[in-house]
Structure 1
Amino acid sequence: MPTIQFMIDNASELWQLFVEHAYVVGIALLIAIATGVPLGIAITFNRKAAEYVLYIAGIIMTIPSVALFGLMIPILAVWNLGIGKVPAIIALVLYSQLPIVRNTYAAIKNIDPSIVDAARGMGMTRAQIMWKVQLPLALGVISAGVRVAVVMSIGIAAIAAYIGAGGLGTYIFQGISTTYDEMLFAGAIAVSLMAIVADLVFGRLENALMPKGLRK
């Protein structure tokens, strides 16, 4: 097949774009976890705040990625960062917040109250209950949110090539603009394979973090 031959002939460049794509997604995911999980934990203590945070995160998800990139270009241009990886990473962090925050919030809120009461009866403080009881039980569901976020981010990161963020989307956009089908298909196949592998890896992680009685 011409597409497979193209991928073989351009394996070095394809691998470089693959690594670049993974780098952008990886950095965004680390930032999203570092902000989304603590935020999800924090809103479990205030139902009103939870409603507002989840509502705002939901609104962000409805904004088309190209439109969000376009909105950030003039804002970040003040610091000469309107084009490239920075706006792409910021966009991916924003898009990742809903699945991570929502799953963190839902996982903690849905823990059996009798377990929390038992921990409280043993003399644990609120912080100890959170870190030693609730979070370990919630890790499986939280990792499911991360799994959704990473697969979604891989797809959105391909669109980020439109603003010079590089990655596998470069092949897709160049293939479209030059009607070079082999290049277009090579980029699309590579993005799909990355998403499939990421889904499998995080699926195993999700299962491993589940309490033993709930594992598949």
Structure 2
Amino acid sequence: MSGILSDTVSYLTTGSNWSGTADVDGLGLLIGQHLEYTVIAVAIAAVIAVPLGLLVGHTGKGEVVVVGLVNVMRSLPTLGLLLLFILWMGLGLTPTMIALILLGIPPMLAGAYSGVANVDRIVVDASRAMGLSELQVLLRVELPNALPLILGGLRNATLQIVATAAIAAYAGLGGLGRPIFDGLATYDYPPMIAGSLLVTILALVLDSLLAGLVWLSMPGTGRLRPAPTLVRG
């Protein structure tokens, strides 16, 4: 065991493993690819899930459908979906992105919906009574109050996606799954452990950054969370 650990440390501290060779991508490039897959998947999932969650939370229509959809999508096996999409579409970025996007939608949808739905109804009714339109109520009252839960959903989705993006190697792509799966195929443990360790570190760094955003959006910090305005607009 100590030999494997020392070999892993040696692997991580060898410059050629970071810069890469003509045949093998370096760890620096693989980290960049992993981040790229994560950012693309999170961004597309947010574009789909957040507006839908805000709409359902604001109108109260389709709540049962949204809750059921979230529960169903959370139970879907991401690797199984990826293999299915590969059989359908072939290897490449598209099946990987679809699988990761489907993984990221449920937590962001749930965060946006529950954030708006749980805003104090007295505040919402007061804003309507003061003449704000429904869009103004959503954007100027409900959204600022729902921001911590929305960012919490974004945080959960990002953590899940960055931890799962290693499956991109199954689709013939790069990312930190490449040393993991290549090492698994050849019983070469140092690259496997190094890849897993780097995925863990990357996930912890992103989670810490987003945890900071969630904290800044909480009531009382006075930074990201503007006070809702009830002025006739």
Q: TM-score, normalised by structure 2?
A: 0.85
Residue type matched to 2:7 in 1? P
Cα separation, 2, equivalents of 1:114 and 1:46? 16
Tell me, in whole angstroms, the C-alpha distance in 1 between the residues paired with 2:102 and 2:138.
26
The alpha-carbon deviation at position 214 of structure 1 amounts to 9.7
**Counterpart pick for 2:101 among 86, 93, 113:** 93
Tell me the amino acid that sits aligned with residue 133 of structure 1.
V
| Shift in Å, 1:165 | 2.7
Matched, 1:71 2:78: no
Separation of aligned partners in 1, 2:32 and 2:213: 22
The SS at the match of 1:63 is coil
1:162: Cα distance to partner?
Answer: 1.2
Corresponding letter in the other structure for 1:11: W
- Selected match of 1:202 from 207, 210, 216: 210
TM-score of the pair, normalised by structure 1: 0.92
1:127 paired to 2:132: no
Greater mean alpha carbon deviation, residues 57-66 or residues 118-127: 57-66
Contact persistence 1:6–1:183 (CA under 8 A): yes
Pairing 1:116–2:124 present:
yes
Which amino acid is the alignment partner of residue 104 of structure 1?
Answer: A
Task: Identify if the C-alpha distance between structure 1 residues 48 and 119 changes in structure 2 by more than 3 Å, giving closer, same or farther.
Answer: closer
Which of residues 8, 24, 30 in structure 1 aligns to 2:13?
8
Q: Which residue of 2 aligns with 1:149?
A: 157
The one-letter amino acid paired with 1:2 is: D
CA change 1:158–1:73 in 2 (3 A) is: same
- Rg (Cα) greater in structure: 2
How far apart are residue 49 of structure 1 and its match? 1.7
Q: Which residue pairs with 1:105 in the alignment?
A: 113
2:91 equivalent to 1:83: yes
Q: 2:75 aligns with which of 62, 65, 69?
A: 62
Identity %: 34
Within 5 Å, give how 1:9-24 maps onto structure 2. 9=14, 10-12=17-19, 13-24=26-37
The equivalent of 2:47 in structure 1 is 34
Does 1:211 find its partner at 2:219?
yes
CA distance in structure 2 between the partners assigned to 1:122 and 1:165 by the alignment: 54
Question: What is aligned with 2:187?
Answer: 179
Aligned length: 210
Matched residue type, 1:121: A
Deviation, structure 1 residue 58? 2.1
Structure 1 stretch displaced more, 43-52 or 16-25: 43-52
- 2:148 maps to which of 126, 140, 145: 140
Aligned AA (2:18): A
Per the TM alignment, residue 41 of structure 1 is displaced from its structure 2 partner at its CA by 1.2
Between 1:196-205 and 1:41-50, the stretch displaced more is 41-50
**2:78 and 2:100 in contact (8 A); partners too:** no
Q: 1:53: how far off?
A: 2.6
2:79 partner SS:
helix
